[in-house]
Amino acid sequence: NAGVTQTPKFQVLKTGQSMTLQCAQDMNHEYMSWYRQDPGMGLRLIHYSVGAGITDQGEVPNGYNVSRSTTEDFPLRLLSAAPSQTSVYFCASRRTGYNYGYTFGSGTRLTVV
Amino acid sequence: QQQVKQSPQSLIVQKGGISIINCAYENTAFDYFPWYQQFPGKGPALLIAIRPDVSEKKEGRFTISFNKSAKQFSLHIMDSQPGDSATYFCAAPGGYQKVTFGIGTKLQVIP
């Protein structure tokens, strides 16, 4: 199994540009989420989904959109990139319920200039 | 929003020593407390997890101790090795289908 696959691994954007970070999982996990990781801030939840067609906001949702049309895919869209969105982004999935740990992707390092 | 307080933020341990990382949480109606290990340039990976119907869980050199009344849980790494050098995150249920992570502890094991 590939697990959770994120693309691209690195990206540089100019302020105001838009882009989509891709995330796909092949474990048939119902729950998927996006986190950003910043120095001294830990992992902060951006958006999450408990199944196809269902999404909700996390702790830091502003400037990001998500959709979940299939169980496998959960793309994250940056609408108009800002330098404050420079970060490492992780997609994670797990089975629904609280007794399951996450499987994380390898991350996308995004720099907004 | 659940708060998870993790300490210390950085830790230097000599090879063969014991590494101890602590986490405190506020409130949760759900019982699952994992620790994740992250190496540079990689995503976090589930290391070990505990349900608080037990006070301790051990997997190899890694042990979680849980104190439900104090709302604290800790990770102990016995016989720490240079290969254990990584960032460790605790996590706790943070609301409906949400998980809140601690700030992370950067562990360095020196020879």
The residue of A43, A60, A95 whose CB has the most chain B CBs within 10 angstroms, and thus the best one to mutate to test that interface, is: A43
C-alpha distance from A44 to closest chain B C-alpha (Å): 7
Interface residue B52 vs chain A (CB under 8 A): no
Cβ-defined contact of B43 to A4 (cutoff 8 Å): yes
> Under DSSP, is residue B84 helix (H, G, I), strand (E, B) or coil?
helix
Q: Is the confidence at residue A1, as pLDDT, over 70?
A: no
- Which residues does chain A have within 8 Å of residue B43's beta carbon, measured at their own beta carbons? 4, 90, 92, 104-107
pLDDT in tens, A31-66: 999 999 998 889 999 999 999 999 999 999 999 999
For the stretch B4-49, pLDDT in tens is 899 999 999 999 999 999 999 887 666 788 999 999 999 999 999 9
- CB atoms under 10 Å from CB of B111, counted, come to 7
Do residue B103 and residue A48 have CB atoms under 8 angstroms apart?
no
CB neighbourhood size of A84 (10 A)? 11
For residue A14, with 0-12 CB atoms within 10 Å meaning exposed, 13-18 middle and 19 or more buried, which class applies? exposed
Which residues of B fall within a CB distance of 8 Å from A88? none
Tokens of B37: 């290990």
B45–A42 C-beta distance less than 8 A: no
Give the largest CA-CA distance in chain B: 43
Counting every residue written for chain A, the total comes to 113
Q: How many CB atoms lie within 10 A of CB B85?
A: 17
pLDDT tens column, A77-110: 999 999 999 999 999 999 877 678 899 999 999 9
Quick one: tokens of A31? 């729950």
Q: Which of A98, A100, A109 to mutate to test the interface with B (most CBs of B within 10 A)?
A: A98
Output the pLDDT for position B69. Answer: 86
With an 8 Å Cβ cutoff, is A7 touching chain B?
no
